[in-house]
Amino acid sequence: MNLKKVQIELDVSDVQRVLAIALDEDKDRALEYIKKNLVKKIEKVLQPH
């Protein structure tokens, strides 16, 4: 997989979730969100078209 600079769009629920995680400072919840949501979005952007 070729890595490159990416830009991903977050919907309102993603933004709310990120802000809630930041306020809670819950490391486990943050890691879970990264693995289940952000990684999938990044991988999708990096896929060859």
Spell out a b/e string for 8-29, using b for 16 or more CB atoms within 10 Å of the CB, else e. Answer: eeeeeeeeebbeebeeeeeeee
For range 44-48, the mean pLDDT: 90
Instruction: Measure Cα distances from 34 to 14, 27, 29, 39, 42 in Å.
Output: 11, 11, 9, 6, 10
Is the confidence at residue 38, as pLDDT, over 80? yes
**Looking at residue 26, what is its pLDDT?**
85
- Residues 5-20, mean pLDDT to the nearest whole number: 92
Given a contact cutoff of 8 angstroms between Cβ atoms, the answer to whether 44 and 6 are in contact is: no
